[in-house]
Amino acid sequence: MTQDQGLTVGNFHRVCIMTFMVGTVIQVSSERGFAIDLSKRNLTQVPKDLPPRTTVLDMSQNSIAELQMADLSSFPALKVLKLSHNRIQRLDLNAFKFNPDLEYLDLSHNHLRNVSCSPVVSFKHLDLSFNDFDALPICREFGNLTQLSFLGLSARKFRQSDLLPTAHLQLRYLLLDLGGYHAKETEAESLQILNTKTLHIVFHSRSLFSVHVNISVNTLGCLQLTNIRLNDDNCHVFTNFLLHLTRGPSLLNFTLNHVETTWKCLVRLFQFLWPQPVEYLNMYNLTIIESIDEEDFTYSDTSLKALKIEHITNRVFIFSQTALYTVFSEMNILMLTISDSPFFHMLCPQVPSTFTFLNFTQNVFTDSVFQNCSTLVRLETLILQKNGLQSLFKVSHMTKTMPSLETLDVSRNSLVSHTHEDMCTWAETIVALNLSSNMLTDSVFRCLPPKVKVLDLRNNRIASIPKDVARLEALQELNVAFNSLADLPACGAFSSLSVLIVDHNSVSHPSADFFQTCHHVTSLRAGDNPFQCTCELREFIRNAGQVSSGVLDGWPEAYTCDHPEGHRGTPLKDFHASPLSCNITLLIVTIGATALVSAAAVAFLCVHLDLPWYLRMVCQWTQTRRRARHVPLEELQRELRFHAFVSYSERDSAWVKSELLPHLEKEGIRICLHERNFVPGKSIVENIISCIEKSYKAIFVLSPHFVQSDWCHYELYFAHHNLFHEGSDNLILILLEPISPNSIPSKYHKLKAFMARRTYLQWPTEKSKHALFWANISAAFNTKLPCVTETDVKT
Ligand SMILES: *[C@@H]1O[C@H](CO)[C@@H](O)[C@H](O)[C@H]1NC(C)=O
């Protein structure tokens, strides 16, 4: 046995945690002690290591064979001890000597044969039923149990005075197990049970009823008998047995559990009970055997108000239906319940009937039941739940002749409605109609009782409530949960509606004006619908949040977004669509405003910070860098002596000498100036050509002065033709001062073309931009500068 499987412990106030036994955590209440569940653990004795303050100890369904004082003496606070379904054979009430508070002791279903009595504690509940006692285990000391309310006993035989010691006790419930009872064939025994409210006797489950005991109880209000097997021969034994028991005027409730009987004996039993004072007769689990024939039944005046039979098994296969049903249909009682039976019909009473309540739940009735039956004149409630009804039209027709019918339950059938059912003829008195769990569609709204107040259409196939339905002015409660409605119903046709249940439908955008149009509604349950959390839902959510709390049942937890995907599971309460995305005008205005601001910003940048210049420079710089990477180094090597030759107007020489040259030479760039690198003996033109030929790139410093100088044009022309035929990227144009295109004489088309392509670097006037300008110039000379030495230059 493992004791660390966890103890189930009762609920207590003021709880703290302590560990006990191997790794087991249990709860303790300092006020009320422990409740420990050790049931079904194969225990063979009471464990020694239980906490001393144990008050409730459940050790039922174990294998405990003995109970001794030492087992329990360490739990002085014990109040409840459950030991049913063990193997205890002997009980010495002395064992509880040190448990003065013990008030509940369950020793049922053990093997007890005798009890040794001793001045016992104050039991309220003492269960010794289902044991192996021969005679009733009552000792004189039981007379002191003045608190005793429940007493369970078992016996095989009786002596008249067995219960005498308990005669003065006021029992609430006496359970008598006579499963092992042996009948004395000759004389009847008798037993006086003086005072109990409820007497429950359990007989042997497989033997025919044969108990010849006259039991009489004075104050009996409720009699329960379990396991009765009857046939035509022992039927009188049973009615004799009941004779004394049912005589008391206070007996109102009589219940029989597990009855197996012939039809003849059942009818005789009814006939026997008819004049008795019993008002409520219940039978659970009735089996009819052998045969069903027509039996005479005299419906004399009776105190019986209600007969309820639940779960009938019929072992008779060929019989007259009329013989069976007539006995019930003619009963002169108020309430009849026959449920969970194989009955497929019930007859219409032949004379105006006393029934006000008929419940035929879970049988196999068909549409033909009570058709054209005009004798159910007092019937107020008819329940035909879970049968085989199919036509709503026929159901309505059935009610037409029931002038008092108020409540009709035809839920859980296979009812369908048809569009032609404008012809339905309901009893006008119907106020509650239960049509739940059928197969009804939208057309059901054309076939409803005009004055219905409570209508249950849950779990059908309704997709929409037609707009042109007949007005149900009286309708107060409408349940259309578990259908496939796409919207909340409009209240136009239901002007008194106060409770609306539409959960579990397909409502994705409930109408926002629902709360305005249905202003009578005091309770709306619309949760568990696939809400689409978009702009349209905002108003519904706002209205839902505003209606007084309690109106919206299940809000907020049952109301969540189903789509769009990103919002799935978000409670509607927390869904906030931005006002911008929901308002087209606002959206357009916002976009327009943003565009305007951006345009203004761009304009500002252009005008004040010369953005285009920066862009151009950056663009050119990146292009140059890219091209440089593709030029093979060897190509550059050839005959070159200089990195660049500079062409400029004499009038710009100040800038060239003070700005350009220092800058380039600082970067290690060798520059050829025709006047500086002049080779004596050569003409100016030859010197220029020589300079150009020895240079890898050419720099032209453009300005209005440049345009006016013929020399410069010559240089440009020459450079372009002789040096740069491989690609114009070796030509660097610096625009020192703006040149108007018109000022360039037309013969200098080369320069015009260059200017038009705008592939020049513009010298910025602002000092802050100079760095970028120089960076562009440096980039134009790629990093893989060919080796150019002084000696080369000299040659
Ligand atoms: C309708 O019958 C179903 C059982 O079929 C029950 O659960 C439901 O409560 C009934 N509706 C009303 C309004 O009584």
CATH code of residue 781: 3.40.50.10140
Question: Whose CA is closest to 199, among 171, 180, 227?
Answer: 171
Judgement on whether residues 202 and 325 belong to the same structural domain of the protein:
yes
Among 313-327, 418-432, 537-551, 606-620, which range has the highest average pLDDT?
313-327
- Kindly give the pairing relationship between strand 171-178 and strand 150-154: parallel
pLDDT for res 25? 37
Last residue of a domain, one of 524, 546, 577: 577
pLDDT for res 273? 94
- What string of DSSP letters covers 265-306? HHHHHHHHHTTSS--EEEEEEEEEES---------------E
Question: Whose CA is closest to 65, among 32, 84, 88?
Answer: 88
Judgement on whether residues 208 and 246 belong to the same structural domain of the protein:
yes
pLDDT at residue 650 above 90?
no
Q: Is the CB of 268 under 6 A from ligand 1?
A: no
Q: Bridge partners of 18?
A: 26
pLDDT at residue 634 above 90?
no
Residue with CA at minimum distance from ligand 1 atom 4: 411
| Neighbour count for residue 681 (Cβ, 10 Å) | 7
In a domain, 61, yes or no: no
pLDDT for res 619? 72
Judgement on whether residues 329 and 185 belong to the same structural domain of the protein:
yes
In a domain, 144, yes or no: no
User: Best of 434, 435, 453, 525 to mutate for ligand 1, by most ligand atoms within 8 A of CB?
Assistant: 434
Q: Is the CB of 436 under 6 A from ligand 1?
A: yes
Domain that holds residue 403: 344-434
Judgement on whether residues 234 and 180 belong to the same structural domain of the protein:
yes
User: How far, in Å, CA of 648 to CA of 656, rounded?
Assistant: 8
Q: Is the CB of 412 under 6 A from ligand 1?
A: yes
Half-sphere exposure at residue 675, Cβ-oriented, CA atoms within 13 angstroms: 6
CA of 412 to the centre of ligand 1 (A): 9
Looking at 694-789, list the stretches that DSSP marks H as alpha helix, in order from N- to C-terminal side: 704-708, 710-718, 749-757, 770-780
Judgement on whether residues 482 and 360 belong to the same structural domain of the protein:
no
In a domain, 615, yes or no: no
pLDDT mean over 510-519: 80
CA of 480 to the centre of ligand 1 (A): 12
Helix-, strand-, coil-residue percentages of the chain, each rounded to 5: 25, 20, 50
Residue with CA at minimum distance from ligand 1 atom 7: 436
Asked if residue 501 lies in contact with residue 529, where contact means CB atoms within 8 angstroms, the answer is: no
Last residue of a domain, one of 380, 413, 434: 434
User: How far, in Å, CA of 640 to CA of 654, rounded?
Assistant: 27
In a domain, 139, yes or no: no
80 by DSSP, 3-state: which? Answer: strand
In a domain, 261, yes or no: yes
Q: Is the CB of 413 under 6 A from ligand 1?
A: no
Percent above pLDDT 90 for the chain: 40
pLDDT digits (tens, 9 = 90+) for 147-204: 999 999 998 888 777 888 888 888 999 999 998 887 766 566 777 777 899 999 999 9
Half-sphere exposure at residue 578, Cβ-oriented, CA atoms within 13 angstroms: 5
pLDDT mean over 408-425: 85
Lowest mean pLDDT among 19-23, 207-211, 407-411, 417-421: 19-23
User: How far, in Å, CA of 244 to CA of 220, rounded?
Assistant: 11
The set of residues, in sequence order, having a beta carbon less than 8 Å from that of 59 and lying 6+ positions away, is 38, 39, 43, 46, 81, 82, 83, 86
CA of 547 to the centre of ligand 1 (A): 28
pLDDT digits (tens, 9 = 90+) for 557-593: 888 998 888 888 888 888 887 777 777 777 788 888 9
Judgement on whether residues 407 and 512 belong to the same structural domain of the protein:
no
In a domain, 741, yes or no: yes
In a domain, 467, yes or no: yes
pLDDT for res 392? 93
Does residue 616 or residue 324 have the better pLDDT? 324
pTM over 0.85: no
CA of 679 to the centre of ligand 1 (A): 118
User: How far, in Å, CA of 696 to CA of 730, rounded?
Assistant: 7
Q: Is the CB of 459 under 6 A from ligand 1?
A: no
Judgement on whether residues 186 and 291 belong to the same structural domain of the protein:
yes
Judgement on whether residues 204 and 284 belong to the same structural domain of the protein:
yes
Terminal CA-CA length for the chain = 112
pLDDT for res 221? 92
In a domain, 93, yes or no: no
C-alpha 341: how far from chain center: 35
Judgement on whether residues 323 and 350 belong to the same structural domain of the protein:
no
CA of 479 to the centre of ligand 1 (A): 10
pLDDT at residue 13 above 50?
no
Last residue of a domain, one of 417, 434, 451: 434
Lowest mean pLDDT among 310-324, 512-526, 667-681: 667-681
User: Best of 436, 458, 499 to mutate for ligand 1, by most ligand atoms within 8 A of CB?
Assistant: 436
Confidence of residue 617 (pLDDT cuts 50, 70, 90): low
User: How far, in Å, CA of 231 to CA of 266, rounded?
Assistant: 9
Confidence of residue 727 (pLDDT cuts 50, 70, 90): low
Structure tokens at 648: 């400029």
Confidence of residue 632 (pLDDT cuts 50, 70, 90): low
Confidence of residue 420 (pLDDT cuts 50, 70, 90): low
Judgement on whether residues 243 and 282 belong to the same structural domain of the protein:
yes
Q: CA-CA distances (angstroms) from residue 417 to 396, 421, 444, 533?
A: 11, 7, 5, 35
User: How far, in Å, CA of 795 to CA of 790, rounded?
Assistant: 9
pLDDT for res 324? 93
Judgement on whether residues 720 and 653 belong to the same structural domain of the protein:
yes
Judgement on whether residues 325 and 193 belong to the same structural domain of the protein:
yes
Q: What are phi and psi of 28, to 5 degrees?
A: -125, 140
Q: Domain tally for the chain?
A: 4
Does residue 437 or residue 99 have the better pLDDT? 437
pLDDT for res 59? 94
pLDDT for res 708? 77
CATH code of residue 472: 3.80.10.10
Does residue 50 or residue 725 have the better pLDDT? 50
